[in-house]
Amino acid sequence: MEKFEKLHGIAAPMPLVNIDTDMIIPKIFLKTIKRSGLGVNLFDEMRYDREGNEIEDFVLNKPQYREAEILVAGDNFGCGSSREHAPWAIADFGIKCVISTSFADIFFNNCFKNGILPIVLPQEQVDLLMKDAEKGANARMTVDLEAQEITTSDGEVIPFNVDAFKKHCLLNGLDDIGLTMEKAGAIENYESKMSQERPWV
Amino acid sequence: MSPKTLYDKIWDAHVAHESEDGTCLLYIDRHLVHEVTSPQAFEGLRMAGRKVHSPEKTIAVPDHNVPTTAGREDPAQMTEESRIQVEALDKNAKEFGVHYYPVSDIRQGIVHIVGPEQGWTLPGMTVVCGDSHTATHGAFGALAHGIGTSEVEHVLATQTLIQKKSKNMKVEITGKLKPGVTAKDITLAVIGETGTAGGTGYVIEYCGEAIRDLSMEGRMTVCNMAIEGGARAGLIAPDETTFEYVKGRPHAPKGAQWEAALNWWKTLYTDEGAHFDKVVTLKGEDIQPVVTWGTSPEDVLPITATVPSPEDFTGGKVEAARRALDYMGLTPGQKLTDIQIDTVFIGSCTNGRIEDLRAVAEVVKGKKIKDGMRAMIVPGSGLVRAQAEEEGLADIFKEAGFEWRLAGCSMCLAMNPDQLSEGERCAATSNRNFEGRQGYKGRTHLVSPAMAAAAAITGHLTDVRELM
């Protein structure tokens, strides 16, 4: 997995609440057996008309946000399905960090598995970052995972929380399966104990 | 020892390893797999030269993509991409040696209906699947939730998940339900109360007399939509209703093991005085047959209400409501019962079980669906379909004018040929009314099976109590 350390980039504002996984990547694009190539269909139904032409006033179609690497979004981002195609599409587009007041649990976890940093902040601070993002391409934000700080284009610093283990994995680009396999002994012990206690499982 | 919740007990029984920071390796008893979220996970194993850790605890079935019309064995009925996904599952199931119910097997169906039906899902288990509606299995007092594809690969490789414990939330439904009110109305009413983010970070335990009174089918409907309330998992403590349902199923324990299992299952309840981080209480008798008007499952109102106005809301919801009304083609103040319906979809992991079909039959028996109505009933599994035929329900449906389909996810998510066209309005027993969920620009109203049946007869959203 790609490491996430420090990001200095354009933030796109998407204030709509409850942006669900069907909006992020409609199901017709789930019929792939690959992880890559979904970025072009990110937010497909909001981004293109039925003929496949770009809808001009959709945020990521505006010239100033086409290279966005950060998304500042409304409450409850990523609700709905467990489809990892949602973070795959976001990462494939080039977005590495999403900021909101809350995320759906499964989506939140899926982000970390794909080198995306989801940041939860209080409403007031998300509002402030939303305003900063609305300034466009000349106003770049900095997200520093090591220091756990966001710096706005005006130099205002906003600290954020992140789970220590998830931070460690993201900073070092670690593969969860490899880490777990180092604990194979504990899993084996559990299994042999359970074959006595709950043999019907 | 301090009193524990049901969630605490199941969690504690599955921790294989705990790190100092509280991150746990949670052991997974059952891993359900379908064709959409698994191909990249199997591919990952293959590339790393890894095997499936416990193929005997892994159960695969294709459901999302499969057509539900006769003659579906013919690959030409599927799009090229769908066929590739289903074929990939065929191949992966064989190569990695997991249990498999192919399309040709009568036991095939929606993964969350097949698991309980075959006795794979048992009380006190941990159950995961690359599908958010895995919450369904919580009806058995199993800790069950959806996972992403990276986690599918993790479970395949290690039979564990890296987890931190969620918070505990209690949702109590007191008293009795009124006639015409069903499990679907309970679960929608709860989401209407808490919002779609209300359960985020929590595992919900549903309890109270109205929950106890539900059949297993009804309990599965309630837990199924825990995820629409934001909670990864919903739980109901197992009781005699649960044990009765499980007993004798193909993969349920037998003989002495049954007795041993039963002894443990009977300890799976929340202790008196255990701590919940959040408590929501609804009175069963206050719940009415409900319907969604918008594009979020929290947009719930009693069928007797009128379409709301964006000004009825605050914050970000004002804009969301405006967008939803525009998408749904509705006007504030319009009576919900005046909304004309083009299509009725009955099925899905929420409401595709035998009891749901019986509820539909009760409403439509001897009646005809409205002229021009497109109405389909899609049983949740081949066995549900067979049972409905044996009970004579299928004949009632066909005589009323419904299409009687084969098992699959069908129009719940439009990944297969069953889709809404632009502007088509559907009363659906499924779980999500998101924009585009049932087809590009399709309009979805979520309802119970009885309410869907009523709409099919009258041609508009209808209070089922008027037909009873």
Distance CA(B421)–CA(B423), nearest Å, equals: 6
CB contact under 8 A, B82 and A27: no
SS3 state at A40: helix
Nearest CB among A22, A32, A177 relative to B157 is that of A177
Q: What is the pLDDT of chain A when averaged over all its residues?
A: 96
Q: Which residues of A touch B260 (CB under 8 A)?
A: 199-200
Q: How far is CA A21 from CA A50, A82, A110, B177, in A?
A: 19, 8, 12, 33
Q: Work out the pLDDT band at A65, boundaries 50, 70, 90.
A: very high
CB contact under 8 A, A199 and B260: yes
* Partner residues linked to B202 by β-bridges: B167
CB under 8 Å to B212, separation ≥6 — which residues? Answer: B239, B241
Distance CA(B294)–CA(B303), nearest Å, equals: 13
Q: Which residue of A has its CA nearest to B416?
A: A28
Distance CA(B414)–CA(B401), nearest Å, equals: 22
CB contact under 8 A, B162 and A180: yes
Domains located in chain A, CATH noted: 6-197 (3.20.19.10)
- A-B interface: how many C-beta pairs under 8 angstroms? 184
Closest C-alpha among B160, B148, B162, B161 to residue B41: B148
CB under 8 Å to A51, separation ≥6 — which residues? Answer: none
Closest C-alpha among B64, B198, B121, B110 to residue A201: B121
Six-digit token string for B412: 């719940």
Interface check for A1 against chain B (CB to CB < 8 A): the answer is no
Q: Which residues of A touch B39 (CB under 8 A)?
A: 33
CB contact under 8 A, A84 and B149: yes
Q: Which residues of A touch B422 (CB under 8 A)?
A: 50
Six-digit token string for B433: 């009314």
B449, B183 contact by CB (below 8 A): no
Residue A175 has pLDDT above 90, yes or no: no
CB contact under 8 A, A74 and B316: yes
Interface check for A127 against chain B (CB to CB < 8 A): the answer is no
Residue A2 has pLDDT above 90, yes or no: no
Distance CA(A135)–CA(A154), nearest Å, equals: 11
* Strand B443-446 with B233-235, pairing: unpaired
C-alpha of B461 from chain center = 22
CB contact under 8 A, A15 and B197: no
Nearest CB among A106, A183, A187 relative to B147 is that of A106
CB contact under 8 A, B434 and A23: yes
Angle between helices B183-194 and B216-224 (to 10 degrees): 20
Nearest CB among A28, A81, A194 relative to B132 is that of A81
Q: Where are the alpha helices (DSSP H) in B148-267?
A: 149-158, 183-194, 209-212, 216-224, 240-246, 255-265
Which single residue is written with the structure tokens 């992403």? B148
* Strand B443-446 with B425-428, pairing: parallel
Q: How far is CA A97 from CA A86, A167, B45, in A?
A: 13, 13, 28
Q: Which residue of A has its CA nearest to B231?
A: A105
From B149's Cα to the closest Cα of chain A, the distance in A is 6
Residue A27 has pLDDT above 90, yes or no: no
B323, B337 contact by CB (below 8 A): no
Q: Which residues of A touch B48 (CB under 8 A)?
A: 177
Interface check for A147 against chain B (CB to CB < 8 A): the answer is no
CB contact under 8 A, A22 and B432: yes
* Strand B300-302 with B290-292, pairing: antiparallel
CB contact under 8 A, A84 and B37: yes
A141, A133 contact by CB (below 8 A): yes
CB under 8 Å to A60, separation ≥6 — which residues? Answer: A12, A42, A43, A47, A66, A68, A93
What does R_g of chain B's alpha carbons equal in angstroms? 21
Q: How far is CA A108 from CA B33, B153, B301, in A?
A: 21, 17, 29
pLDDT tens digits in sequence order for chain B, 468 residues long: 799 999 999 999 999 999 998 899 999 999 999 999 999 999 999 999 999 999 999 999 999 999 999 989 887 888 899 999 999 999 999 999 999 999 999 999 999 999 999 999 999 999 999 999 999 999 999 999 999 999 999 999 999 999 999 999 999 999 999 999 999 999 999 999 999 999 999 999 999 999 999 999 999 999 999 999 999 999 999 999 999 999 999 999 999 999 999 999 999 999 999 999 999 999 999 999 999 999 999 999 999 999 999 999 999 999 999 999 999 999 999 999 999 999 999 999 999 999 999 999 999 999 999 999 999 999 999 999 999 999 999 999 999 999 999 999 999 998 999 999 999 999 999 999 999 999 999 999 999 999 999 999 999 999 999 998
Q: Which residues of A touch B157 (CB under 8 A)?
A: 177, 180-181
Angle between helices B80-96 and B39-48 (to 10 degrees): 50
C-alpha of A20 from chain center = 13
SS3 state at A54: strand
SS3 state at B413: coil
Closest C-alpha among A41, A43, A39 to residue A20: A43
Q: Residue B74 has what pLDDT?
A: 84
Distance CA(A86)–CA(A107), nearest Å, equals: 8
Please give the sequence-ordered ranges of beta strands (E in DSSP) within B288-412, or none if there are none.
290-292, 300-302, 343-346, 374-377, 403-404
CB contact under 8 A, B436 and A23: yes
B426, B342 contact by CB (below 8 A): yes
From A182's Cα to the closest Cα of chain B, the distance in A is 10
Q: Which residues of A touch B52 (CB under 8 A)?
A: none
Q: What is the 3-state secondary structure (H, E, C) of B139-177?
A: HHCCEEEECCHHHHHHHHHHCEEEECCCEEEEEEEECCC
CB contact under 8 A, A187 and B159: yes
CB under 8 Å to A6, separation ≥6 — which residues? Answer: A142, A143, A144, A145, A146
This prediction has a pTM of 0.96
CB contact under 8 A, A177 and B43: no
